[in-house]
Structure 1
Amino acid sequence: MSDPLSRIRQDVQGMHAYAVQDSAGMLKLDAMENSHRLPSALRAELGRRLGEVAINRYPGARVEELKLALAQYAALPSDWSLMLGNGSDELISLLAMAFVRPGSAQDPEVILAPVPGFVMYGMSAQFQGLAFHGVPLTDAFELDESAMLEAIAEHRPAVLYLAYPNNPTGTLWNPGVIDRLIDAQGAQGGLVVMDEAYQPFAARSWMESVQKEPDRHKHVLIMRTLSKFGLAGVRLGYLMGPAAIVHQLDKLRPPYNVSVLNAECALFALEHQEVFAEQAVDIRAERERLVSALNALPGVHAYPSEANMLLVRLPDAAKTFQGMKARKVLVKNVSTMHALLANCLRLTVGTQSENKQMLAALQASL
C-alpha cells in the first residue's frame, strides 16, 4: 500500500509547525498578551451575555454590528471598508491567496517585508506557493530605505508588509521613509499592508496619515487585531482599506469565519473600551520603567519600543533564557530567528508585580 504522506508537499514536510511554548506553572511573558484581566464584575456580565448567545445558529447580524462598531472605533474613512478574520493570521493567509495565479509556479508573485519581522508573512507566502523576499533592517532596527526601494523595483511585490510597530523589535519606523515606500509600491501596482497589531501601545497610528492624505493611500490597507487590545483568546483580526480592494479580498473569506461567541466578546469589549484603554496606559508606563531597570543591569541593553514588548540584548541569551525558565518565568528567545537578533530575548510587558518577578529572574540568570 502506498503511503498517503508521500502526497503531501515536500516543502511542507520539511517545515516546522508554529511553536507555542508550554507555559504550565510559568509566569507567561512570551507572547505579547495583555496580562490584565477584566474586573470580576465585567467578567460576570460577559458570562451572562455569552450565555444568551444562540450558539445553535450560524453567525449573522451581530457580526455585522461588530463590523460597524470596529469601523467607528478605528475612525474608518467613508470610502473604506472592513473585513473580519479569525485573528490577523487568517487575514494574512487570505491576502496571499488573492495573488496566487494558476500555472505561476515558475514565476510566482512576491510578498516583501523587512526582516526580522512577523514570521507569518513568509510562512503564508510559502503555504500559497508565493515567493517571499525579506529585506534586512539596519543594525539599529530601522528600515533600510535604499535596500527596500531597490527590492520594490526589482521584485515588484504584490504585497509589501510594514508592521507599525514592528515585531519583535517594537520599532515605530520613520514616517517619511514609509511615505516613500508607499509611493514606490503604488507606482508599480502593488498593495501596502500596515500591520498595526500593537496599535493600543503606540504613539501613532498610520490611520492618521491616511486621513491627511487619502489620495496617497488608495493602495494601502491597515490590519489590526484585538489580541493585543486584550482579547488574545478571542482570535479576531480586522482589515481596513479602500472599499473596492476589500470587496475583492472578502470573497476569499470562509463563510462564518468569526463565531457568534467571538463576535459577542468583541462587542462587549468595545462597549467597555475605556477599561482596556486604562490597561494600555498602565502597560505603557510599565514599559518605560522596565526599560530603565533593564538598562541599569550590566551587559544588558533594552531597545526603545512602541509595543507591549521589549527586545533585550544580553551577553548570553540562551543561558539567560534557560535560567529564567528554571525560575518559572517564560519569555521568548529570538536569538536564532535572524542574525540581527543575536543574543536577544523578547519580553512581554506585564503587570507591575509580574515585571518585578521577571526582572528578578533575569538578573539572577545573567
Structure 2
Amino acid sequence: MSADSSTQAKALQRIRADVRAMHAYHVQPSQGLLKMDTMENPFRLPQALQKALGERLGALEINRYPGERLDVLKQMLQDYAGAPEGSAVLLGNGSDEIITLLALATAQPGAQGRAKMLAPMPGFVMYPMSAQLQGLDFVPVQLTADFDLDVPAMLATIAAQQPAITYLAYPNNPTATLWAEDKVQAVIDAVGAIGGLVVMDEAYQPFASRSWITQMHANPARNAHVLLMRTLSKFGLAGARLGYLIGPAAIVNELDKVRPPYNISVLNCETAIFALEHADLYAEQAAAIRAERQPLIDALTALPGVDKVWPSEANMVLLRVQDAARAQAAMKERGVLVKNVSAMHPLLANCLRLTVGTREENARMLAALKESL
C-alpha cells in the first residue's frame, strides 16, 4: 500500500463505521428514457409562464441572502393548505431536510435510552435513514399483507417503545395506501397518551381523496401534537426542492431552531411563490393525472403475468409480477424506467412501482411492461 493510500485509509476511519457501511440514495440514470420511477408531475409550464418565471427569477437579488419573501411564502402555504388557527410553518429543502430536522431536534436520551422514531413499514426509506444518521433508534411496525395499518401492533409498540416521533405517510409510499381515518386517529391518540409527536407525511396530497388537515380542524385537541408535512415536489416543483411543515406554533418554533439559517434559496422561494400564484393550473394537472390513474390500474390488472395490482390514492401504482428484476431490466431495454421495490421489504417481493403519467406515457409504459413479462 502506497503512502497516499495508507493516509487515505486512515482518514476514512474518521468517518462513522455505520455510515461507511451504508449505501447512498441511488438515483437511476434516466437520459434518453421515459422516466416513470420517481412519481414526478409530467407536465411542464406553458411557454408564456416559463418566460414570466424566467424574468422574475432573473430580476432577483441573488447577491443577497434570502429575506422577507420567505415570510410571504409561509403565509401563502398556510392559506393554500388551510392551516388551523395558531399554526406556524417550517420550510425545508424538500421534505427530506424536514425529516432530518425533526430527528435532530428530538434526538435526546430518555428513560429507555436513545430516543425512538416509529413508522409503519414498508414506508419511506428516509425515515430509518434519518433515524440512523441523527442517533435515534428506528422502530418499524409491519403493515398487513394488504398494506393496511396493523392498529393493535401499532398501539402495543407505541406503548412499549414510547417513540418521540411517529410517522404516518398519508397516503403511504411505496404502497399508495390511504388508511382509514378511525385507524389513523387511534394511532394519533396512542402517541398523544405517551407524549410523542405525530408527523402526517402528505407528500402525495394532490392525488388523495382527503387530507388530515380536515381532522386537525375538526378535532384540534386530539391533534394538538400532530404536524402536517408536505412537499411541492409532487405538486409539480420536484426540481425546486421545497418542503414545508405545518403545526402548532409552539412546536414548530422549537423545531425551527435547528434549521440552517438560509436553507431556502431566493430562487426556490420565488419559484414556489410563482407556482402558488398559479395554483389553479397545478390543480388541473393533478386532476389530469388522477383521471389517468384508474384506467392505468384497470389495464395493468388485465395484463397476463401481473399477479396483483393494489388500489392507489397517489400518483403511483404498486403491482406484483413473477420476476420484478427481470421485468424492470427488460422495460429499461425498451426505454422505460420504473422502480423495482422488492429489496425494500419482504412484503414487497417482486413488486414494481410505476408513476402515473400522461395518457401517452402510460400507454408506452404499458406496452413496455407487456413485452417484458
Give the TM-score normalised by the residue count of structure 2: 0.96
Is 2:259 the partner of 1:253? yes
1:143-182 correspondence runs (5 A): 143-182=149-188
Whether the 8 Å CA contact 1:100–1:129 is kept in 2: the answer is: yes
Equivalent-residue separation in structure 2 for 1:35 and 1:256 (angstroms): 30
2:300 pairs with 1:289: no
Whether 2:231 is the aligned partner of 1:206: answer: no
CA distance, structure 2, for counterparts of residue 226 and residue 188 of structure 1: 32
Question: How big is the alpha-carbon RMSD for the aligned residues of Structure 1 and Structure 2?
Answer: 1.2
Structure 2 SS opposite 1:147: helix
Mapped pair 1:17 → 2:24 = yes
Q: Which amino acid aligns with 1:127?
A: L
Report the equivalent of 2:350. Answer: 343
Contact 1:32/1:348, CA 8 A, preserved across alignment? yes
| AA in 2 matched with 1:20 | V
Partner in structure 2 of residue 270 of structure 1 = 276
Mapped to 2, the partners of 1:105 and 1:28 lie a distance apart of 47
The AA in structure 1 aligned to 2:250 is: A
In structure 2, C-alpha distance between the alignment counterparts of 1:345 and 1:234, rounded to whole Å: 27
The one-letter amino acid of 1:249's match is L
Q: Match for 1:357: what amino acid?
A: R
* SS of residue paired to 1:214: coil
- 2:315 aligned with 1:334: no
**1:42 matched residue in structure 2:** 49
Q: Residues 293 and 186 of structure 1: is their aligned pair in 2 closer, same or farther, counting only changes over 3 Å?
A: same
Would the aligned equivalents of 1:114 and 1:136 in 2 still touch at CA under 8 Å? yes
Where do residues 118-133 of structure 1 align in structure 2 (5 Å cutoff)? 118-133=124-139
Residue 7 of structure 1 corresponds to 14
Contact 1:299 1:315 (C-alpha < 8 Å) held by counterparts: yes
Aligned mate of 2:115, from 103, 109, 134:
109
Residue 327 of structure 1 deviates from its aligned partner by 0.3
1:82-111 CA-to-partner distances (Å, cap 9, x unmatched) read 110000000000000011227x79921100
**How far apart, in 1, do the equivalents of 2:293 and 2:37 lie?**
15
The separation in 1 between residues aligned to 2:244 and 2:111, in whole angstroms, is 30
Cα deviation per residue 1:93-142 (whole Å; 9 max; x = unaligned)?
0000011227x799211000000000000000000111001111000100
Structure-2 residue corresponding to 1:318: 325
Q: Which AA in structure 1 matches 2:131?
A: A
How many pairs were matched up?
365
Q: What's the offset of the Cα at 1:40?
A: 1.1
Deviation digits for residues 153-185 of structure 1, max 9, x if unmatched? 110000000000000000000110111111110
Task: Give, in angstroms, the shift of residue 63 of structure 1.
Answer: 1.0
The secondary structure found in structure 2 opposite 1:35 is coil
The secondary structure found in structure 2 opposite 1:54 is coil
Deviations 1:261-300 (Å, cap 9, x if unpaired)? 0001000000001110000001001111100100011231
CA distance in 2, matches of 1:27, 1:195: 28
Q: Does 1:195 align with 2:201?
A: yes
Alpha-carbon distance in structure 1 between the residues aligned to 2:299 and 2:83: 39
CA contact (8 A) 1:105 1:129 kept: no
Classify the secondary structure of the residue corresponding to 1:91: helix
1:239 correspondence with 2:245: yes
Which residue identity lines up with residue 230 of structure 1 in the other structure?
G
Large movers: runs of 4+ above 3 Å: none
Unaligned runs of 5+ in 2: 1-5
Task: Give the aligned residue type for 1:343.
Answer: N
1:69 lines up with 2:82 in the alignment: no
Aligned equivalents of 2:74, 2:39: Cα separation in 1: 25
**Which residue does 2:3 correspond to in 1?**
none
- Counterparts of 2:175 and 2:87, CA distance in 1: 30
Task: Specify the alignment match of 2:97 in structure 1.
Answer: 90
Tell me by how many angstroms 1:18 deviates. Answer: 0.5
| SS of alignment partner, residue 7 of structure 1 | coil
TM-score, normalising length: structure 1: 0.98
Q: Which residue of 1 aligns with 2:35?
A: 28
